[in-house]
C-alpha cells in the first residue's frame, strides 16, 4: 500500500505556470475591494491549472449525466445544481487565462471575466450544494473528476474571502485552537481521564514510543466519546502498543474543506510529526470521511515524500485484524445495513473493509439500492452540515437517504463516519424518523469475543 499517489483523483494541485499561490487573505477580507477579491480568486484558479485540470475542463461533452448523480439536483430538479456547472467560474478563468485559445477568448471577449457578483452567487453552489462526494465523478463518461475541481475552486473562493461564515469560523478555530469544536489538548486530556475512569479502560496519552498512533475527530471527542472507549477496548483486546498524542490528534481537516491549503498542511503535519515522534508504524484515522482523504491521499504530497508509516482508516484496521485473527468477534445474526461514507468508499476505495467486518460479526447484510461506491451521500459532508442556510436543501437531499435505508427493512443501520452520524441524527430529529444510524467501530467493541490478548 503506497502512502503517496500523485495521480490519485483527489490530488490535482501541481501548478502549471509556476505561479505562487497568494497568501490567505481572509483576515483582510473586510478591507479588500471587489477588484482585489476577484484578482485573488483568479490568481488562485490559475495557480491550480495543470495538465490534469486542463484535460478535465476540455473534456466535458455537456451530456448532463452528472446531474442525475447529484443528490442536490435529484432532490430539487433545479439545473443550477448540475455538478459541472458548479465549476463554471473556474472553467471561465481557464478559458481566458490558460486554455489553448485563451488569446481568442480575451480578444473577442467570448467569455467575460468573472465578476464579484458571480463569485458571490457561486458560493452557494461550491459550498452549500456540494459535499465533494464524488458521485458525479463516478458517473462521468469522460472521467472528469468534478468533485476534485470543486475542491480546487474552493481555494480561489477562500482567497476572495467568500467562504460561508460558519465554515470559515470552524476552520479558523481549528487553526487557532487545534480543533474546530474546541476540543483543545486540555479538553482532550480531561475527556480521556473521565472516559478511562468511567469505563475502567486504559487510554494511553503521549506515550514516547508506540506502534500505533490513534487519531480522532472533534465530533467523536465532543459528541460520540463512546468511540474513544471502543477504540481502547479493541486495542486492549489485541494487546496492541498504541497511544493518542496531544500534539497531533485532530484528524478532521477544515483547512481542506474551506479551501485554505496552508491550514490544510498545518493540520496534516501535526499528525505526521506526532506519528514520527513516537515511532508509529501505523496511523489510524477515525470514523471521519474527509479526514481519510486529507491524510491518506494528500498527506504525502503535503509532506513532500512518502510517509514513514501506514495510514489506515479504522474500518481498514478492523478488517485487517479480523482477518489475521487478532480481533475475534461474537456472532450477531441480525439484519444490518451499511451506509458508505463517500470519502472512505467512493473517493477512498475502502469499500470492502467494513463489509468484511460485518461478515465477521455474522450479520445479515442488507445492502441499500444502490450501494457501495454508488451509495447516496448523507448530504452533510464537505462542510455542508456546518452551513445553516443550506439546511433546507440538505434536508431535501436527506430524504433520498431515508428512503434508501427504509427499503432495506434492516433493524440496524451503521456507518463508519462520525460526520455522517451527526447528519443522520440531525435528519432523524428534523423528520421524526424512527431510525438511528450507529457506529461500526462501537459495534465491534460491543461484540468482542472473550479471551483477547
How do residues 217-270 score in pLDDT, each as one tens digit? 999 999 999 999 999 999 999 999 999 999 999 999 999 999 999 999 999 999
Grid coordinates representing 345?
468508499
With CA atoms as reference, report the closest residue to 286 among 134, 415, 435, 151.
415
Average pLDDT of every residue of the chain: 92
Q: What are phi and psi of 63, to 5 degrees?
A: -80, -25
Give the per-residue pLDDT at 110.
84
Looking at per-residue pLDDT, the higher value among 233 and 7 belongs to 233
pLDDT at residue 1 above 90? no
- What does pTM read for this prediction? 0.92
Q: What is the pLDDT of residues 388-398, one digit of tens each?
A: 999 999 999 99
Q: Is 170:254 a contact under the CB 8 Å cutoff?
A: yes
* pLDDT for residue 23: 45
Cα gap 155→45, rounded to integer Å: 7
Are the C-beta atoms of 283 and 310 separated by less than 8 Å?
A: yes
SS3 state at 176: helix
So what's the pLDDT on residue 28? 45
* DSSP conformation letters of 381-394: TTTGGG-GGGHHHH
> Cell for 14?
501541481
Q: What is the DSSP string of 401-415?
A: HHHHHHHHT-SEEEE
Instruction: State yes or no: pLDDT of 19 exceeds 90.
Output: no
The pLDDT value recorded for residue 145 is 98
CB atoms within 10 A of CB 387: 22
pLDDT over 70 percentage in the chain: 93
Task: Tell me what pLDDT residue 22 has.
Answer: 43
Query: What pLDDT is stored for residue 109 in this prediction?
Result: 83
E strand or H helix at 82: none
Structural domains in the chain, CATH included, are 26-163 (1.10.1060), 172-322 (1.20.1050), 326-446 (3.40.50)
Under 8 Å between Cβ of 174 and 271: no
Alpha-carbon distances, residue 292 vs 76, 275, 311, 346, 444 (angstroms): 30, 16, 9, 12, 20
| Neighbouring residues of 33: CB distance < 8 A, sequence distance ≥ 6 | none
Read off the pLDDT of each residue in 359-375 and give the average, rounded to a whole number: 97
Q: Averaged over 114-121, what is the pLDDT?
A: 94
Residues 275-329: pLDDT tens digits? 999 999 999 999 999 999 999 999 999 999 999 999 999 999 999 999 999 999 9
Question: Does residue 364 carry a pLDDT above 60?
Answer: yes
Query: Which cell goes with 79?
Result: 439545473
Percentage of the chain surpassing pLDDT 90? 88
Residue with cell 472512505: 344
Q: Choose the weakest-confidence range: 1-15, 28-42, 70-84, 119-133.
A: 1-15
**CA 152, CA 53: separation in Å to the nearest integer?**
9
Under DSSP, is residue 196 helix (H, G, I), strand (E, B) or coil?
Answer: helix
d(Cα 442, Cα 314) in Å, to the nearest integer? Answer: 11
Residue for cell digits 510529526?
273
Q: Could you tell me which residues come within 8 angstroms of residue 146 by beta carbon, excluding any fewer than 6 positions away?
A: 56, 66, 83, 84, 86, 87, 134, 136, 137, 140
User: pLDDT band for position 4 (50/70/90)?
Assistant: very low
User: Cβ contacts of residue 279 below 8 Å, gap of 6+?
Assistant: 209, 210, 211
SS3 356: helix
How far apart are the C-alpha atoms of 408 and 96, rounded to whole Å?
A: 49
For the chain, how far is it from start to end, CA to CA, in angstroms?
27
Q: Report whether the peptide linkage leading into residue 370 is cis, meaning its omega lies within 30 degrees of zero.
A: yes
Residues facing 448 on adjacent strands: 329
Q: Is the pLDDT at 16 greater than 80, yes or no? A: no
Strand bridging mode 412-415 / 437-439: parallel
- The rounded Cα 55 to chain-centroid distance in angstroms is 25
CA–CA distance, 357 with 361 (Å, rounded to integer):
6
Question: pLDDT class for 452, splitting at 50, 70, 90?
Answer: low
Residue 210 above 80 pLDDT?
yes
108-127 mean pLDDT: 91
How would residue 387 be classed by pLDDT, with cut points 50, 70 and 90?
very high
Q: Nearest Cα to 382, choosing from 347, 356, 409, 407? A: 347
Convert the pLDDT of each residue in 86-113 to its tens digit: 999 999 999 998 888 988 988 888 888 8
Amino acid at each position: 500500500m503506497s502512502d503517496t499517489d500523485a495521480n490519485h483523483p483527489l490530488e490535482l494541485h501541481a501548478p502549471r505556470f509556476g505561479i505562487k499561490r497568494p497568501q490567505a487573505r481572509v483576515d483582510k477580507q473586510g478591507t479588500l475591494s471587489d477588484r482585489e477579491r476577484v484578482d485573488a480568486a483568479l490568481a488562485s484558479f490559475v495557480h491550480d491549472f495543470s495538465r490534469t485540470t486542463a484535460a478535465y475542463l476540455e473534456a466535458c461533452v455537456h451530456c448532463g449525466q452528472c446531474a442525475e448523480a447529484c443528490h442536490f439536483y435529484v432532490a430539487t430538479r433545479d439545473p443550477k445544481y448540475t455538478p459541472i456547472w458548479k465549476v463554471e467560474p473556474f472553467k471561465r478563468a481557464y478559458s481566458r487565462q490558460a486554455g489553448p485559445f485563451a488569446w481568442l477568448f480575451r480578444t473577442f471577449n467570448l467569455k467575460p471575466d468573472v465578476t464579484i457578483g458571480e463569485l458571490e452567487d457561486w458560493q452557494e453552489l461550491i459550498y452549500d450544494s456540494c459535499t465533494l462526494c464524488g458521485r458525479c465523478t463516478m458517473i462521468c463518461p469522460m472521467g472528469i473528476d468534478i468533485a476534485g475541481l470543486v475542491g480546487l475552486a474552493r481555494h480561489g473562493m477562500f482567497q476572495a474571502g467568500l467562504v460561508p461564515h460558519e465554515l470559515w469560523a470552524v476552520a479558523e478555530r481549528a487553526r487557532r485552537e487545534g480543533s474546530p469544536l474546541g476540543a483543545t489538548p486540555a479538553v482532550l486530556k480531561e475527556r480521556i481521564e473521565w472516559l478511562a475512569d468511567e469505563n475502567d479502560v486504559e487510554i494511553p496519552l503521549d506515550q514516547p514510543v508506540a506502534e500505533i498512533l490513534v487519531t480522532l475527530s472533534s465530533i467523536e471527542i465532543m459528541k460520540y466519546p463512546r468511540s474513544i472507549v471502543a477504540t481502547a477496548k479493541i486495542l486492549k483486546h489485541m494487546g496492541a502498543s498504541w497511544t493518542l498524542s496531544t500534539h497531533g490528534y485532530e484528524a478532521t481537516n477544515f483547512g481542506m474543506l474551506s479551501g485554505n491549503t496552508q491550514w490544510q498542511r498545518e493540520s496534516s503535519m501535526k499528525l505526521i510529526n506526532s506519528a514520527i515522534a513516537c515511532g508509529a508504524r501505523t496511523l489510524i484515522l477515525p470514523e471521519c470521511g474527509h479526514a481519510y482523504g486529507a491524510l491518506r491521499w494528500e498527506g504525502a504530497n503535503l509532506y513532500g515524500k512518502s510517509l514513514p508509516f501506514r495510514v489506515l482508516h479504522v474500518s481498514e484496521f478492523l478488517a485487517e485484524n479480523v482477518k489475521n485473527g487478532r480481533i475475534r468477534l461474537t456472532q450477531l445474526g441480525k439484519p444490518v445495513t451499511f451506509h458508505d461514507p463517500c470519502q472512505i468508499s467512493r473517493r477512498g476505495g475502502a469499500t470492502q473493509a467494513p463489509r468484511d467486518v460485518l461478515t465477521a460479526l455474522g450479520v445479515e447484510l442488507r445492502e441499500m439500492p444502490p450501494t457501495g461506491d454508488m451509495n447516496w451521500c448523507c448530504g452533510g459532508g464537505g462542510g455542508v452540515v456546518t452551513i445553516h442556510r443550506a439546511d433546507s436543501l440538505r434536508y431535501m437531499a436527506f430524504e433520498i437517504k431515508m428512503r434508501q435505508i427504509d427499503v432495506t427493512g434492516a433493524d440496524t443501520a451503521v456507518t463508519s463516519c462520525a460526520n455522517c452520524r451527526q447528519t443522520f441524527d440531525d435528519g432523524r430529529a428534523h423528520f421524526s424518523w424512527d431510525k438511528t444510524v450507529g457506529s461500526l467501530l462501537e459495534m465491534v467493541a460491543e461484540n468482542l469475543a472473550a479471551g483477547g490478548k
